[in-house]
Chain A
Amino acid sequence: MRGADQESQPIVDVQDLHYAIGGRAIFSGLNLRVRRGAITAVMGPSGTGKTTLLRLIMGEHAPSSGRVLAFGEDVATLSREQLYALRRRIGMLFQNGALLTDLSVYDNVAFPVREHARLPEPVLRELVLMKLQAVGLRGAAELMPAELSGGMARRVALARAIVMDPEVLIYDEPFVGLDPISMGVIGRLIESLNRTLGITSIVVSHDVHEIGTIADYSYLLSGGSVVAEGSPAQLAAEQREVVRQFMSGSPDGPVPFHYPAPDYYEQLLEQSPP
């Protein structure tokens, strides 16, 4: 019964989150729940704090008020040891891959295992090659990060993120700067890893089309809170202007094209300062 309760609980639960940096409010009353086993997309225009939200979930920042629960634990109240124990259950893929540049592809993937487990080298080798095979880069094991393309670097980072068999995988803008083939590859990997490994995925992305093909549930952030949520089909059918602008990529709308500025005509008439 207790197990069933746990299953029904969200794996990440953001409750009435407020967060400000340097006096500027990033979130004001954000609520978001990530269902176990699902691919949850977090979308929104640039500067809405999507990456900041991931860092709050990972406990890198603490909320001004509100709570971020991961596996039922309030992340902000955890000690460093408890936080590290929590992070071992979560894998994170950074926007640029964040591979360790002085290690080869093989050593990058082996890195978390070497740090956290004492596996015999033959077992470790088998594990690393298995993860590299899963992302299609077993043949690149001996390459250095500088020799990889952007898409390859992200796939290696993905292999590294799954090598400890995490329960949750967090992707920060996994499609940014990739060619259409690499985007398709990453999208397919996110989906297949989620289904085959039975993990939960949180994907932060701008890419409405790509994320729409893989997400089970999506949140659209704007102005510090969730402005729309639902399945990709539900979001696509939304008629509110703020959602329409983002989904169709309109340059102007509720999110203005122009950064707030004084009246253009009056500014031009002003004398330039000496």
Chain B
Amino acid sequence: MLRGVGKLGAVALFLVRVLGQSVLAFGRPGALARQIYNSGARSLVIIMLSGLFLGMVLGLQLFDLLQRFGSTSALGEASALALIKELGPVITALLFAGRAGTALASEIGLMCATDQLAAMDMMAVDPVRHVVAPRFLGGLIALPLLTAIFDCIGIYGTQLIGVGMMGAEPGTFWSQMQGAVAVHDVYEGFIKSVVFGALCSLIAVYEGFHAQATAEGVGLATTRTVVNSAVMILLFDYVLTAVFL
């Protein structure tokens, strides 16, 4: 228990240090853009494929369910709300933790194991400013963008199956969606994705930065990144959903 509280405190102090240096990271747009590319663009394929397949599954399941109540006209509305408010942010964050989070943790962990971070520190260059802050910001910016792409492709996947295969009315599909999805729904999904982006990036850079300088240490840091990110995403999803309802 005490250990857990101690670790939370250490993470909070680390976050303060990272945030302090993040302001300066905006002064190096090249490094920041590179990290957005690494965390975001390199995760695009898995995010797009997952979004498409999840949308297709939603198209099947929701159509089948709504058909029982004679309300297949609500397919567009139900799928869009499910994706924008809940599934999009959560699934994207979980995938992001598995793809970009592990890459961040292992990259920083290896830099630590090969004395690169120590070398920077000895050259009077703060490794938190140079290595951690751009990666943290890169993840924070990339995840909401990935979530938006996931949502769009998910909706396209639902339409592909629901309308194209199951025979839902296309006009109703889009008009119901347009009428039901309000700005605050999009806002809710956006807030969630920003919070998840901060959580995933923070956990990844923290674990990588504090990895033991051994092969096993880097492996453990990577594993902890995925496990802790997944738990925190689901925990914060509940908290945020409760707040928004």
Contacts and interface: CB of A to CB of B under 8 A. Distances in A.
Interface of A: 58, 60, 84-85, 87-88, 90, 92, 94-96, 98-101, 111-112, 115-116, 157, 160, 164
Given A84-B124, A115-B124, 8 more contacts: A60-B121, A60-B122, A94-B115, A94-B122, A96-B114, A100-B111, A112-B124, A160-B123
B130 interface: yes
Given A94-B115, A96-B114, A101-B116, A111 B123 contact: yes
Contacts of B125: 111-112, 115-116
Interface in B84-113: 111
B42 to A, nearest CB: 15
B44 interface: no
Contacts of A84: 124, 126
B130 A115 contact: yes
Instruction: Identify which of B111, B122, B130 gathers the most chain A CB atoms within 10 Å of its CB.
Output: B122
B123 A87 contact: yes
B119 interface: yes
B65 to A, nearest CB: 50
A94 B123 contact: no
Contacts, number: 51
B52 to A, nearest CB: 33
B119 A116 contact: no
Given A84-B124, A85-B124, A112-B125, A92 B130 contact: no
A36 to B, nearest CB: 21
A17 B124 CA distance: 24
Contact of B118 (A85, A88, A94, A157): A94
A133 B185 CA distance: 62
Contact of B124 (A87, A98, A101, A157): A87
A109 B115 CA distance: 16
A96 B115 contact: yes
B121 A98 contact: no
Contacts of A92: 119, 122-123
A100 to B, nearest CB: 6
A95 B163 CA distance: 64
Nearest to A103: B116
A115 B118 contact: no
Contacts of A116: 124-125
Contact of B119 (A85, A90, A94, A164): A94
A66 B63 CA distance: 76
Nearest to A85: B124
Contacts of A164: 123
Interface string B228-243: 0000000000000000
A56 to B, nearest CB: 13
Contacts of A95: 115
Nearest to B34: A102
Contact of A112 (B114, B115, B123, B126): B123
Contacts of A88: 124
Instruction: Identify which of B111, B119, B120, B125 gathers the most chain A CB atoms within 10 Å of its CB.
Output: B119
A99 B114 CA distance: 9
Given A94-B115, A96-B115, A101-B114, A87 B122 contact: yes
A98 B115 contact: yes
A58 B122 contact: yes
Nearest to A86: B124
Nearest to A54: B122
Interface in B121-175: 121-126, 130
B114 to A, nearest CB: 6
15 contacts: A58-B122, A87-B123, A90-B122, A92-B119, A92-B122, A92-B123, A94-B115, A96-B114, A98-B114, A98-B118, A100-B119, A101-B116, A112-B125, A116-B124, A160-B123
Nearest to A100: B116
B221 to A, nearest CB: 18
Instruction: Identify which of A60, A90, A98 gathers the most chain B CB atoms within 10 Å of its CB.
Output: A98
The 5 lowest CB-CB distance pairs between A and B, nearest first, are A98-B119, A98-B115, A84-B124, A87-B124, A92-B122
Contacts of A101: 111, 114, 116
A240 B114 CA distance: 38
A19 B111 CA distance: 27
Contacts of B122: 58, 60, 87, 90, 92, 94
